[in-house]
Structure 1
Amino acid sequence: MFHLGRYFGTDGVRGVANSELDALLAFKIGAAAAYALTQESAHGRKAKLLIGKDTRVSSDMLENALVAGTCSVGADVELLGVIPTPAVAFLTIKHKADAGIVISASHNSFEYNGIKIFAGNGYKLPDETEARIEDLIDDFESIPKMTHEKIGRVLKSEIDPVVEYTDHLADTIKGDLSGLRVAVDCANGSSSTTVERLMRLVECKAEIRFYEPDGININDNCGSTHLGQLKERVRSGNFDLGVAFDGDADRCLIVDETGEELDGDRIMAVCAAHMKKEGKLRGGAFVATILSNMGLHAYADKNGMKIECSNVGDRYVLEMMLKKGYILGGEQSGHVIFLEYASTGDGELTALQFMSILKASGKKCSEIAAEVEPWPQLMINVKVPNDKKATLQQLPEVKAAIDAASAELGNNGRILVRPSGTEALVRVMVEGTNSEQVDTLAKKVAKVIESVV
């Protein structure tokens, strides 16, 4: 079931900071989440939550509001500062916190911000828990507020997040990465605090770029959503590969030595084939999404691997992995989950795993990726107000346009129209063996949607 709650999208609560997501809402989320998540788990002690954030100008404001809300219901808080999203999940598990909260709008531009929550097990919250928190936000007066000695506090942190997290990542690969030259794009985001130490630990020669955040330059013409400058740098600087993270470093895209982009599908295919060879690909299968390229399916078939497809969103990928007992899954966008080492998508972990495979292969990056041949695919984002996007496909003219495109593609392709879980958009994705046909049909359906909105 595609979950779009009153406040929570597929990746937490997100909106323009101080407009859609203001300090009052953050205060309420802090109180509601702390109350909902710690009712059963307090065991006669104060519950403890960890809070991390990205580099946006609004992150401090939202952090303070969240802290106030959390403490008001009697939970204690430890602040991790600027740190990647997956680091918060990892540290939540390691330090047995009751929950971890991340303030970030991931790959969105700086004026947005978001709040995502991990349960004590390091996984994103199940739909029922999110719904319970939403009920509490709407009925805020029902949440008991603490007084006297029961009020929560901000604890002096015993954790060095950067050291603990990067040590953990470095331990996930055998040997080191010496001999590789990599250009790294930190998107002026959270990985700015961790990448330098990580690359030193694994002895990789790295040129790190876009790691000077100023509050408003996060994802600004850099990072995994804007690969142009990285491609150019890799080509001109004679690097073995380039690696780009998004604002909160839970996803990673790779650029080979020729400047060609490798999306999450191709990264995952390389990792899956390697894991299968090592006898580590549990069930001989991995999880992709309904958006994953048909070329990935063809590659898996050829190499004796099975793919299970989930809904779009790393929470749904994870659900499917846990249900089927698989340890690898991910999305085209570069969210890849290595369940052996992490409970959520992790960009820096993905980069390390891929680079370790690359070094061991003795081949060029373009060579190990060439075996996965993507089918032509075009995605068009159409602006649609949030209140209209869920019902859009029921409109007769939209339904007719989708059916006509599907009939024309036949067995040589497919069309998928779906609402974004994080933005006021509907995404039109067409894929097929003929790139001209793909282009024409995607534009035709997008035009029909634009005409009815």
Structure 2
Amino acid sequence: MKYFGTDGFRGEANKDLTAAHAYRIGRFLGDYYKKNFEGDEANPRPRIVIGKDTRRSSYMLEMALAAGITSSGSDAYLLHVTTTPSVSYCVQADDFACGIMISASHNPFYDNGIKLIGEEGAKMEEDILRKIEEYIDREEDDLPLAKQGEIGEVRDYVVGRNRYTGYLISTARRSFKRVKIGLDCANGASFMIAKNVFDALGAETYVINNKPNGVNINRDAGSTHIHQLVEFVKKEGLDVGFAFDGDADRCIAVDNKGEVVDGDAILYIAGNYLKDRGQLQKNMVVTTVMSNFGLYKALEASGIDYIQTQVGDKFVAKELMDHGYSIGGEQSGHIIFSKYATTGDGVLTAIRLTEIMVEEKTDLASLHASLKAYPQVLENVRVKDKKTVLHNEAVLATIDRVNDRLGKEGRTLVRPSGTEPVLRVMAEHLDPDVCQKAVDDIVEAIGQAGLLA
């Protein structure tokens, strides 16, 4: 698709993603859900809920979306600064037509994005996204404008965020009393929610990067800059630390020894916990093609089955919903516990890990000690055209040769980013030098073909 990638419409604010784009998206959704809508006295118009992260441009896009929605005759409900999973929760719990999250996730502040959430709380169907793209590109705005009393309303809906916070607290069955927990809020959306949740559950909560100013979101903070939390956990002698990204749909943990616990390790810990209690539906953990070789070997040793999807939490979510599996996720920290949510939820993941620690009466380091991750090298390669590279015969021949060389103890993966003009070239093997040589050979082949940007 032209605008919507694996995680929404994303790009530099006021360059790739403008207020005009947001207005048109709002116009389309307001009109789309108004058709065939049967209202009542309490809800005379379709209701669309909007959340945003702490980027300066999020406020601009929020107003443009609300203007588009109301001018088409639907109502816009504003959650204000909140997390992506909270929007998903509100769509389901409060029967909204759909939800919108304004965020570029882990990207720097000058980028932004618009994520659309369908009526079931999962990413919106692609056929609707295609219709939105067609409308954005039309020269004429041919959708009807609401008139007089048909113009929609904009309503404050901070109560929805509060309900979501209460829901998170209600999912915990144990008190976290005397557990010392560190939180890195990435100066993003979780700063409004995370500490309140863990305080309510009785934890001793320590927080960093919880003072957003519109331009410091993800800046040397959060799940993509985990070194800050590693040092914080060590310095304060904490039992565990959790780092979120800008919209808090990801969580990366740090154990009591200061070791990073990524999404693969979280899947391993939670998968074993659920299996031991007979709660791992169909004995399956859903992963993506980016998960580490070590995870698969560890799951096999535990007698747990696994399946791979494309990269993107929407593909993981679909697999979970289609087949009724319990848990799935990505190495990057998007973890979905299908019993509780339809999308990745960083704060919920942190609750689940802490609860496992409390119930098992052990520390986080012990819970992932049996998982031995393979060395992995990942390089983001800027190219002129992603599809051209992936169909180039010389590049494909090089990839085949490299995979033959790695054999059964390694692998490569070359895939296009869904949000950036880059190819992600990854290699895994027990020998890190072999990994690096494999990536170097593939990147060199792309360069020799004249396809580097």
Same fold, TM-score > 0.5, yes or no: yes
- RMSD of aligned alpha carbons: 1.4
1:404-423 map, 5 Å: 404-423=401-420
1:137-216 map, 5 Å: 137-139=136-138, 141-157=141-157, 159-216=158-215
Q: Distance in 1 between matches of 2:38 and 2:31?
A: 10
What's the secondary structure of 2:370's corresponding residue?
coil
Q: Distance in 2 between matches of 1:291 and 1:313?
A: 10
Please tell me the residue identity of whatever aligns with 1:400: A
Alpha carbons 2:79, 2:156 under 8 Å: kept: no
> Structure 2: which 5+ residue stretches go unaligned?
none
Please tell me the residue identity of whatever aligns with 1:333: S
How far is 1:163 from its partner? 2.2
Instruction: Tell me the equivalent position of 1:332.
Output: 331
Please tell me the residue identity of whatever aligns with 1:178: K
Q: Distance in 2 between matches of 1:443 and 1:266?
A: 27
Structure 1 residues 15 and 331, CA gap change in structure 2 (3 angstroms): same
Please tell me the residue identity of whatever aligns with 1:189: G
**For 1:307-330, what per-residue CA distance to the aligned partner results, in whole angstroms no more than 9, with x for missing partners?**
111100000011111222212110
> Structure 1: which 5+ residue stretches go unaligned?
none
TM-score for the superposition, normalised by structure 2 = 0.95
How far is 1:160 from its partner? 1.5
Q: Distance in 2 between matches of 1:163 and 1:203?
A: 18
1:378-397 map, 5 Å: 378-385=377-384, 388-397=385-394
TM-score for the superposition, normalised by structure 1 = 0.95
What's the secondary structure of 1:417's corresponding residue?
strand
Please tell me the residue identity of whatever aligns with 1:239: L
Confirm whether residue 34 of structure 1 aligns to residue 30 of structure 2.
yes
Q: Distance in 1 between matches of 2:401 and 2:36?
A: 52
Please tell me the residue identity of whatever aligns with 2:145: K
Alpha carbons 2:379, 2:424 under 8 Å: kept: yes
Confirm whether residue 9 of structure 1 aligns to residue 5 of structure 2.
yes
Instruction: Tell me the equivalent position of 1:225.
Output: 224
Alpha carbons 1:36, 1:133 under 8 Å: kept: no
Q: Distance in 2 between matches of 1:35 and 1:12?
A: 20
Alpha carbons 2:88, 2:121 under 8 Å: kept: yes
How far is 1:39 from its partner? 2.7
Please tell me the residue identity of whatever aligns with 2:153: R
Alpha carbons 2:183, 2:195 under 8 Å: kept: no
Alpha carbons 2:252, 2:263 under 8 Å: kept: yes
How far is 1:76 from its partner? 0.4
**For 1:212-259, what per-residue CA distance to the aligned partner results, in whole angstroms no more than 9, with x for missing partners?**
000000000010000111111111221111110000000000011221
Instruction: Tell me the equivalent position of 2:93.
Output: 94
Q: Distance in 2 between matches of 1:247 and 1:108?
A: 8
**For 1:1-56, what per-residue CA distance to the aligned partner results, in whole angstroms no more than 9, with x for missing partners?**
xxxx1110000000000111011111111112333344344557310001010000
How far is 1:131 from its partner? 1.2
Confirm whether residue 54 of structure 1 aligns to residue 53 of structure 2.
yes
Q: Distance in 2 between matches of 1:161 and 1:106?
A: 21
Q: Paired residues, what number? A: 446
Instruction: Tell me the equivalent position of 1:428.
Output: 425
Alpha carbons 1:382, 1:449 under 8 Å: kept: no
Q: Distance in 2 between matches of 1:50 and 1:384?
A: 37
**For 1:382-403, what per-residue CA distance to the aligned partner results, in whole angstroms no more than 9, with x for missing partners?**
1224xx1123111233212212
1:13-412 map, 5 Å: 13-43=9-39, 45-139=44-138, 141-157=141-157, 159-385=158-384, 388-412=385-409
Q: Distance in 1 between matches of 2:156 and 2:169?
A: 27
What's the secondary structure of 2:344's corresponding residue?
coil
Structure 1 residues 435 and 338, CA gap change in structure 2 (3 angstroms): same
What's the secondary structure of 2:56's corresponding residue?
coil
Alpha carbons 1:75, 1:151 under 8 Å: kept: yes
Structure 1 residues 270 and 38, CA gap change in structure 2 (3 angstroms): farther
Please tell me the residue identity of whatever aligns with 2:222: G
Structure 1 residues 298 and 242, CA gap change in structure 2 (3 angstroms): same
How far is 1:168 from its partner? 0.5
Structure 1 residues 42 and 215, CA gap change in structure 2 (3 angstroms): farther
Alpha carbons 1:162, 1:193 under 8 Å: kept: no
What's the secondary structure of 2:299's corresponding residue?
helix
Q: Distance in 2 between matches of 1:33 and 1:124?
A: 14
**For 1:117-173, what per-residue CA distance to the aligned partner results, in whole angstroms no more than 9, with x for missing partners?**
11121111122221122122223523222222211110243x523421111011112
Structure 1 residues 58 and 450, CA gap change in structure 2 (3 angstroms): farther
**For 1:46-82, what per-residue CA distance to the aligned partner results, in whole angstroms no more than 9, with x for missing partners?**
1000101000010111111111111111110111100
Alpha carbons 1:136, 1:143 under 8 Å: kept: no
Q: Distance in 1 between matches of 2:110 and 2:430?
A: 39
